Amino acid sequence: MQLLQSTIHNIQGVQKEMMEQAKMRIDTLCKPPGSLGKLESIAVQLAGITEQLVPSLEQKVMIVCAADHGVCEEGVTSNPQDVTLLQTLNFPKGGTGVCAIARITNTKVVTVDVGVKGDIPPDAGVIMQKIKYGTANMARGSAMSREEAIQSIEVGIHVAMEEIAQGATVLGTGEMGIGNTTPSAAILAVLTGCDPIDVTGFGAGVGQGGIVHKVAVIKKAIAINQPNPKDIIDVLAKVGGLEIGAMAGVILAAAAHRKPVVIDGFISTIAALIAYKLEPKVKDYMIPSHASEEPGAKMAAELLGIEPMLHMNMRLGEGSGAALAFPILDAACSMMKNMATLEETMKLEKPNNV
């Protein structure tokens, strides 16, 4: 709990004066005002986060948090649970979707075992931070204890801090956990008070009972556990996931160390909501990547007040959409560094007096 409290305490607002300077420079560049759209707002945000007029995001790190979910016992997914273990082992080998995308921007992919239901070999290249072998079945009781929920957040904080200490300049959130769209939808339903049918999708593959059964399981979990929407730790503990908590920790740590953090799709946005509920100032450090195909993703983004920049019909997770957005951040930085102002352009074109 001490690490979580100290991290939250260290989160400060972005540098507004630097943002104003960045906006002034952008408005003097050789182009019509606002013509580079979101690229301009990203550059202004990055200036406020990093306190640099011309930010550099050379060391990119995608932190993939992996854990299993006891609610899979209810048949909410068609995928076997051991896929979580298999894919967790596959990340360090570079064989996953996010790894393929991350490779084009020289992004380091870090894999963390927060709660995989299985033992990871010590030489697998996975950071071992296992809290337990997956959550309990939330349809029969609390997914985890309050202490375990806090511990999951602190795992994300710790791993992010280690990467930042090694030079990371921008982080991305990723996850691996068969069945994790079910707790994500449950968390969102609790926070909004909406009917779970409105935020529940197919995930990586819905079970034989279809969406109707998945929704029924979520309703049962909420009814049994009665999570308090005004206490986000209570919500995470009762109907959440270990990797979801860990991603929230990554986001909190990024903000505490003035690093931008790129948010992936639905599950990452739920983690972002948890981080926001713990400390609202973290929102200024978040850069949303893509609009997930999961139905709850749009509602989660609206609740958080962020707008994804990419519409690619993706729903893989892993941090794949976040990795895809990294080149856009690089473009924003390049605009600030390499694009000439109108005054500079006129000087270059003015003939020398003989």
Residue type at position 171: L
Contact of 97 with 320, CB cutoff 8 Å? yes
Quote the strand ranges of 41-188, DSSP E: 60-67, 108-115, 127-128, 170-176
- On whether the CB atoms of residues 208 and 98 are closer than 8 A, the answer is no
Query: How far is residue 158's CA from residue 257's CA, in Å, rounded to a whole number?
Result: 12
Tokens of 206: 């819905």
b/e per residue 197-223 (b: at least 16 CB within 10 A)? bebbbbbbebbeeebeebbbbbbbbbe
Whose CA is closest to 230, among 279, 277, 182, 283?
277
Tokens for 285, please give them. 């450090």
Q: What is the dihedral of CA 84, 297, 157, 235, to 10 degrees?
A: -90
Rounded to a whole number, what is the distance in angstroms from the first to the last CA of the chain? 72
Residue 185: in which H helix or E strand, if any? helix 181-192
Q: Which residue has the tokens 């006891």?
A: 70
Name 49's Cβ contacts closer than 8 Å, sequence gap at least 6.
Answer: 14, 15, 55, 258, 259, 260, 284, 285
Clarify whether 58 is annotated catalytic. Answer: no
Catalytically annotated residue among 17, 318, 343, 344:
318
Find tokens 């819905």 and name the residue: 206
What is the rounded distance in angstroms from the CA atom of residue 187 to the CA atom of residue 185?
Answer: 6
Three-state DSSP at 59 gives: coil
Check if the beta carbon of residue 30 is closer than 8 Å to that of residue 339.
Answer: yes
Give the catalytic positions in this structure: 318
